[in-house]
């Protein structure tokens, strides 16, 4: 007589009782009789072991297995006997990669796109699970002349050919021997959609032993998710029974005292005809309205709906809810938190629970790739590709945990120092760049600081550059020893050497990779990198053993794993539209339409992807029924990275429908005021109340956000006593919003000023630009010119020559060109030769700059080179025409009957002769040639006129010219930007450079400054030809104003006034950014300043130290 089979459906708690009764019945004649329980999820193994023991008071010889484990038990012996070996889990991606190395033309470059291998593995798994081999797929493709199917079949066959010596779970299913089943009963629990070959195995087992299937049911459209298993039971002539939950007075999750037989009463006759499911319900029937499995009181904490601004705060509120449940007496191990998608929720949940010091059991442990060890191995692999990108070296060092021997081999690695050196050297990538640019960096540093006068910091920096070069050189040598094409064993030996030298704690990963030594074909190094990356993504950080389940803490798992697990309290996160429930996705390699056609034509049963019955509603119903005492559901209004708002999913709206007894609209979530709704404001970063805070840090944040003054005062008291920084921060905030300039605004205290005066930069003379910076914004001078701060850019971000380097190149070209020509300048010689020489000098300067990595992409460099050649040609033309223009002006004035300024007749103009390039006033730079700047350079700085503290200035004048008799001179400062100054205007000190150059040049030439003219020469397009002068005669006319400005600057600098002056002349653009014409528009330090600096500054307008800048705004 054939065995009898049963199908039992019902809610989770009732199914567990029925399952326990079935185990008990199977052991009725022998308590040691073997029983096999086949389950759909791995988490059910530890859960059901404990659950059945709770119900029955203990059990023995009950084996709980997944379909894959059952297949291996029944089929592996046969396959091993045939000489085949189990395929290591990491091999499958390699075989697919190898098979697609020479893809059919139909797929083309698609095989190289991210995700193709995983998509192919899933498609092949579907085909194998449906019992369809490559030959059958080839026949099906040929029958309809479908090239795409034929190409897929070709790839399928190529993969199968490579795996013929191994076997997988699918092979074990096909080779399974039913007689090897553990016991005389098979209980199938929570297996919703077995594959075709799994169902065939069940058929064979059902011929030998009775099979009882336990499936969840909610008596609605959601039950369509278990159609496959129900159909199998119907075909096996299984009798169908339903079971009901225990009574409301019984704890459904812990009903060990309940009488099992009384709870497993059928509600329909055993022989109720089975109507197989014949397709997905119509859309109207597949609504996902949730059914809450109890009737909550509207005023208690039974159900909580959480609405948060982002996933981080959503999870934090869930953890606070967990803490409230614990206060109510529910143990942590009887709570669970479910998520639908691993990212971002799993890491957020783990982190938040640990911050709250709540024990956690992570069922889906993080992958090695997510842990520091995985990041370090991945970073090392990037360095071994031979490109040695600076960013990769820095990233590896920043996260590295090097073995002691390696660390000390290089003198103790300073990641920040090495990264700074690499940036300053302009290194982007490539071994040659590391060698050449580090050498250039060292040479430049030695030139600035010769051996006989080298400061200690420079000596240390040279040593660090040597260590860095040796470190990178060793990496280069290691990469050169790497096998290009070799069997896996050879690659692994190399990886062991590399990882042992640079990474601590990787032995376990390397041991796992040992399983791939079965790959004897040669593999390219690039494939090895991908294989290791795949392995790191697949290997789990074994931080929580199975034995910790229901003991260690809150169960955290994906919704699929938790849908049949009972706890006392359940939290579900991520209930966002499009995410949970997730939108069904097609298989990109074998669409549902193709699958349906193949099924119809060949009698196959390929599973559909998008058009299959949706498992999400039943899955969610299972989660709702998992925690009969407490439930929390949450969603985030944004995903935390995009501006696009997220909407609550139909699932969470269904919960709200059940709570309110009415249909919930999306807009209701923003206005509802219900005791079960916890809405986290966008501006809220703490808990709702201090008592709910997860830890001490959050208590402080929550208390400071409180509307209760006493609570805020209490938090302030705690911070004041425990954290001195808070006292300083509150004092700074109060001071910044006061009506006086304070030390927190940059008006330094006497103590701070004393420390500042000891700094070398304040003891040295200032540059004209530093004084102009002070007149614009005193704090800019403090940060840039005194403290020496500057933005540090990544060399990789240099796309083309920036404005600063462009100006530097052109300055150097003109300096060298005019120095070579002598005092008559470009008047003598062939203009064509001059142009050729300018081009040669430009190329030399650009080549030198390119060696430092500062010229960007070659194609853009050529554009810049062309533009600079054009600008130099325009400059040369202007130079050659200067004497002609001066003579024409003289003739025009003579014909007009004009006299000279002193009333004497006009005399022909005398040509200006070159008196020096880069004429220096102030000390030489370290290592600089004393002859630099020519005979008119002076070592003494210039003291500016004024009655305040002495204000010394040093600088270099681009070009000094004078007539042969010394009756007139001209100072030229080249500008490569747009003309921005007005003639003869010092602009309250913001344009002091030309007057300072006049004084310095007059002192060097031994003449009166009133006989000279200083000018900005804008020779670059589009301002080419613009010359903005400052006449020496104006110095006398504006002497009182100039002395007043200089005196104010001197008093401010020496008195420690370095307050901010934001947007003194202009406001902001419509989008809120500083107007480029404002003080903040081109300031490197704008991101460091307070966002409300303008409002703060307006409060201080009446401070006497601010009046100088107030006048600038009034006169602008």
Answer yes or no: do 377 and 435 share one domain: yes
Rounded Cα–Cα distance for residues 917 and 812 (Å): 10
Query: What pLDDT shows up at residue 55?
Result: 94
Residue 890 included in any domain: no
Mean pLDDT of 664-674: 69
Tell which wins on pLDDT, 422 or 926: 422
Residue 252 included in any domain: yes
- In sequence order, which residues have a C-beta less than 8 Å from that of residue 448 and are 6 or more positions away? 458, 925, 926, 927
Rounded Cα–Cα distance for residues 881 and 169 (Å): 88
Least confident of 73-87, 260-274, 1019-1033: 260-274
Mean pLDDT of 8-26: 94
Mean pLDDT of 916-928: 88
Provide the pLDDT confidence category of residue 985 given band limits of 50, 70 and 90. confident
Answer yes or no: do 586 and 659 share one domain: yes
Q: What is the 3-state secondary structure (H, E, C) of 906-948?
A: CCCCCCEEEEEEEEEECCCCCCCCCCCCCCCCECCCEECCCCC
Residue 369 clears pLDDT 90, i.e. is over it: no
Answer yes or no: do 114 and 52 share one domain: no
List the domain range (segments joined by +) for residue 566.
303-354+554-684
Residue 640 included in any domain: yes
pLDDT tens for residues 335-368? 999 999 988 999 999 999 999 999 999 888 888 8
Answer yes or no: do 442 and 581 share one domain: no
Collapsed DSSP state (helix, strand, coil) of residue 242: strand
In degrees rounded to 5, what are phi and psi of residue 1075?
A: -60, 130
Tell which wins on pLDDT, 714 or 542: 714
Residue 611 clears pLDDT 60, i.e. is over it: yes
Residue 912 included in any domain: no
Answer yes or no: do 214 and 246 share one domain: yes
Provide the pLDDT confidence category of residue 1075 given band limits of 50, 70 and 90. low
Domain boundary among 850, 866, 882: 882
Residue 90 clears pLDDT 90, i.e. is over it: no
Tell which wins on pLDDT, 260 or 245: 245
Query: What pLDDT shows up at residue 920?
Result: 94
Residue 111 included in any domain: yes
Q: How many structural domains does the chain have?
A: 5
Residue 891 clears pLDDT 80, i.e. is over it: no
Query: What pLDDT shows up at residue 906?
Result: 67
Provide the pLDDT confidence category of residue 981 given band limits of 50, 70 and 90. low
Answer yes or no: do 559 and 668 share one domain: yes
Query: What pLDDT shows up at residue 274?
Result: 31
CA dist list (Å): 117 to 68, 120, 530, 967: 22, 5, 11, 83
Query: What pLDDT shows up at residue 180?
Result: 94
Answer yes or no: do 507 and 621 share one domain: no
Domain boundary among 135, 162, 189: 162
- In sequence order, which residues have a C-beta less than 8 Å from that of residue 999 and are 6 or more positions away? 942, 944, 1009, 1035
Mean pLDDT of 729-755: 90
Give the residue carrying structure tokens 């103790």.
412
Query: What pLDDT shows up at residue 371?
Result: 87
Indicate whether this model's pTM tops 0.85. no
pLDDT tens for residues 850-875? 887 888 889 999 999 999 999 999 89
Query: What pLDDT shows up at residue 1073?
Result: 55
Query: What pLDDT shows up at residue 2?
Result: 67
Residue 115: left if φ>0, alpha if ψ -120 to 50, beta else—which one? left
Residue 765 included in any domain: no
Query: What pLDDT shows up at residue 247?
Result: 58
pLDDT tens for residues 518-541? 778 888 888 888 888 888 888 877
Answer yes or no: do 513 and 582 share one domain: no
Half-sphere exposure in the Cβ direction for 1021 (13 Å, CA): 10
Look up residue 893 and give its two tokens.
């004035």
**Are the C-beta atoms of 75 and 176 separated by less than 8 Å?**
yes
* Most distant pair of Cα atoms in the chain: their distance: 139
Query: What pLDDT shows up at residue 269?
Result: 29
**Most confident option among 166-175, 269-278, 1015-1024:** 166-175
Instruction: Calculate the average pLDDT of the chain.
Output: 85
Residues in the chain: 1116
Answer yes or no: do 401 and 509 share one domain: yes
Closest CA to 965 of 905, 997, 1005: 1005
- CATH code for the domain of 268: 3.40.50.300
Residue 252 clears pLDDT 70, i.e. is over it: no
Query: What pLDDT shows up at residue 1023?
Result: 64
Helix (H) or strand (E) holding 76: helix 67-81
Answer yes or no: do 567 and 527 share one domain: no
Rounded to 5°, angle at Cα 896 from 893 and 902? 60
Tell which wins on pLDDT, 283 or 35: 35
Query: What pLDDT shows up at residue 1070?
Result: 47
Domain boundary among 882, 897, 920: 882
Residue 754 included in any domain: no
**Most confident option among 743-752, 836-845, 874-883, 1055-1064:** 836-845
Provide the pLDDT confidence category of residue 1078 given band limits of 50, 70 and 90. low
Residue 513 clears pLDDT 90, i.e. is over it: no
Query: What pLDDT shows up at residue 54?
Result: 92
Query: What pLDDT shows up at residue 902?
Result: 62
Answer yes or no: do 631 and 575 share one domain: yes
Query: What pLDDT shows up at residue 1066?
Result: 47
Query: What pLDDT shows up at residue 599?
Result: 95
Residue 275 clears pLDDT 60, i.e. is over it: no
Collapsed DSSP state (helix, strand, coil) of residue 558: strand
Query: What pLDDT shows up at residue 503?
Result: 94
Tell which wins on pLDDT, 158 or 1072: 158
Mean pLDDT of 666-686: 81
Answer yes or no: do 563 and 513 share one domain: no
Residue 1060 included in any domain: no
Query: What pLDDT shows up at residue 825?
Result: 85
Residue 899 clears pLDDT 80, i.e. is over it: no
Tell which wins on pLDDT, 97 or 200: 200
* Interhelix angle 91-99/525-538, nearest 10 degrees: 140
Provide the pLDDT confidence category of residue 841 given band limits of 50, 70 and 90. very high
């Amino acid at each position: 007589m054939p065995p009898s089979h049963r199908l039992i459906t019902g809610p989770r708690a009732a199914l567990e009782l029925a399952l326990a009764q079935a185990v008990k019945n199977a052991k009725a004649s022998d308590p040691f009789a073997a029983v096999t329980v086949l389950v759909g999820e791995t988490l059910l193994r530890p859960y059901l072991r404990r659950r059945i023991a709770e119900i029955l008071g203990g059990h023995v010889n009950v084996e709980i297995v997944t379909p894959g484990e059952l297949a291996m038990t029944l089929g592996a012996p046969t396959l091993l006997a045939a000489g085949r070996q189990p395929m290591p889990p990491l091999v499958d991606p390699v075989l697919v990669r190898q098979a697609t190395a020479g893809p059919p033309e139909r797929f083309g470059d698609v095989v190289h796109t991210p995700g193709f291998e995983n998509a192919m593995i899933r498609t092949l798994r579907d085909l194998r699970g449906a019992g369809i081999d490559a030959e059958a797929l080839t026949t099906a493709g040929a029958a309809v002349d479908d090239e795409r199917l034929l190409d897929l079949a070709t790839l399928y066959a190529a993969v199968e050919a490579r795996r013929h010596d191994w076997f997988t779970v699918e092979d074990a299913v096909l080779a399974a021997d039913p007689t090897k089943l553990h016991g005389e009963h098979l209980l199938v629990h929570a297996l919703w959609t077995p594959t075709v070959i799994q169902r065939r195995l069940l058929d064979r087992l059902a011929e030998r032993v009775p099979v009882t299937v336990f499936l969840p049911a909610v008596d609605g459209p959601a039950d369509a998710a278990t159609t496959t298993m129900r159909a199998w039971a119907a075909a096996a002539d299984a009798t169908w029974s339903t079971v009901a939950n225990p009574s409301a007075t019984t704890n459904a999750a812990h009903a060990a005292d309940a009488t099992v037989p009384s709870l497993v009463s059928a509600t329909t006759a055993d022989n109720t005809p089975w109507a197989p499911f014949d397709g997905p319900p119509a859309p109207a029937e597949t609504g996902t309205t949730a059914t809450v499995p109890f009737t909550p009181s509207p005023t208690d904490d039974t159900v909580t709906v959480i609405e948060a601004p982002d996933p981080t705060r959503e999870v934090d509120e869930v953890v606070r809810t967990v803490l409230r449940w614990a206060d109510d007496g529910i143990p942590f191990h009887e709570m669970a938190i479910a998520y639908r998608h691993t990212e971002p929720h799993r890491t957020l949940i783990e982190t938040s629970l640990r911050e709250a010091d709540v024990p956690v059991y992570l069922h889906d442990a993080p992958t090695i790739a997510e842990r520091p060890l995985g990041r370090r191995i991945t970073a090392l692999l990037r360095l071994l590709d031979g490109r040695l990108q600076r960013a990769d070296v820095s990233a590896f060092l920043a996260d590295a945990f090097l073995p002691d021997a390696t660390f000390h081999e290089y003198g103790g690695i300073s990641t920040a120092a090495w990264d700074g050196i690499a940036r300053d050297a302009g290194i982007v990538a490539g071994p040659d760049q590391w060698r050449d640019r580090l050498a250039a960096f060292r040479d430049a540093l030695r030139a600035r600081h010769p051996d006989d006068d080298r400061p200690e910091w420079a000596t240390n920096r040279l040593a660090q550059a040597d260590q860095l070069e040796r470190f990178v050189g060793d990496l280069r040598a290691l990469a050169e020893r790497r096998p290009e094409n070799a069997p896996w064993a050879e690659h692994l030996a190399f990886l062991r050497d590399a990882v042992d030298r640079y990474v601590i704690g990787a032995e376990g990963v390397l041991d796992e990779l040992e399983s791939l030594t079965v790959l004897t074909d040669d593999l390219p190094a690039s494939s090895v990198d991908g294989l290791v990356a795949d392995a790191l993504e697949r290997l789990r950080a074994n931080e929580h053993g199975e034995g910790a389940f229901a003991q260690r803490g809150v169960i955290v798992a994906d919704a699929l794993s938790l849908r049949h697990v009972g706890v006392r309290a359940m939290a579900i996160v991520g209930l966002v539209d499009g995410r949970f429930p997730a939108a069904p996705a097609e298989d990109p390699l074998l669409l549902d339409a193709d699958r349906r056609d193949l099924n119809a034509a060949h009698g196959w049963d390929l599973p559909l992807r998008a058009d299959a019955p949706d498992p999400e509603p039943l899955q969610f119903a299972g989660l709702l029924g998992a925690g009969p005492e407490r439930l929390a559901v949450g969603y985030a209004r944004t995903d935390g990275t995009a501006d696009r708002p997220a909407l609550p999913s139909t699932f969470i709206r269904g919960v709200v429908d059940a709570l309110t007894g009415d249909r919930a609209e999306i807009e209701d979530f923003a206005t509802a005021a219900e005791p079960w709704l916890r809405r986290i404001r966008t501006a809220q970063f703490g808990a709702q109340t201090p008592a709910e805070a997860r830890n001490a840090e959050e208590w402080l944040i929550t208390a400071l956000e409180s509307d209760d003054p006493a609570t805020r005062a209490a938090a302030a008291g705690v911070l004041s006593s425990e954290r001195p920084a808070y006292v300083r921060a509150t004092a700074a905030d109060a001071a910044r919003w006061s009506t006086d300039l304070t030390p927190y605004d940059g008006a330094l205290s006497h103590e701070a000023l004393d420390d500042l005066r000891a700094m070398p930069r304040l003891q040295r003379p200032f540059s004209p630009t530093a004084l102009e910076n002070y007149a614009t914004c005193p704090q800019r001078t403090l940060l840039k010119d005194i403290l020496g701060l500057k933005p540090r850019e990544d060399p990789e971000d240099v796309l083309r020559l920036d404005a600063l380097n462009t100006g530097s190149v052109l300055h150097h070209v003109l300096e060298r060109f005019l120095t070579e020509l002598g005092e008559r300048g470009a008047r003598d010689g062939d203009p064509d030769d001059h142009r050729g020489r300018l081009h040669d000098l430009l190329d030399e300067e650009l080549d030198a700059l390119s060696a430092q990595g500062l010229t960007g992409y070659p194609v853009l460099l050529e554009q810049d080179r062309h533009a600079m050649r054009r600008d130099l040609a325009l400059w040369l033309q202007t130079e050659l025409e200067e004497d002609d223009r001066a003579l024409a002006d003289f003739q025009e004035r003579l014909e007009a009957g004009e006299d000279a300024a002193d009333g004497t007749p006009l005399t022909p103009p005398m040509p200006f002769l070159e008196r020096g390039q880069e004429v220096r006033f102030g000390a030489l730079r370290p290592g600089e040639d004393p002859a630099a700047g020519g005979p008119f350079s002076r070592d003494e700085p210039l003291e500016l006129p004024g009655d305040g503290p002495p204000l010394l200035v040093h600088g270099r004048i681009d070009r000094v010219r004078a007539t042969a008799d010394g009756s007139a001179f001209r100072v030229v400062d080249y500008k490569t930007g747009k003309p921005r100054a007005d003639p003869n205007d010092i602009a309250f000190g913001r344009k002091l450079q030309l007057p300072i150059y006049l004084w310095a040049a007059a002192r060097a030439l031994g003449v009166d400054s009133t006989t000279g003219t200083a000018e900005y020469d804008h020779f670059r397009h589009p301002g080419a030809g613009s010359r903005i002068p400052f006449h020496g005669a104006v110095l006398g006319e504006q002497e009182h104003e100039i002395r007043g400005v200089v005196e104010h600057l001197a008093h401010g600098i020496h008195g420690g006034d370095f307050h901010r002056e934001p947007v003194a002349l202009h406001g902001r653009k419509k989008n809120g950014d500083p107007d480029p014409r404002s003080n903040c528009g081109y300031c490197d330090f704008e991101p460091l300043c307070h966002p409300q600096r303008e409002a703060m500054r307006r409060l201080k307008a009446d401070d006497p130290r601010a009046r100088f800048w107030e006048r600038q705004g009034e006169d602008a």
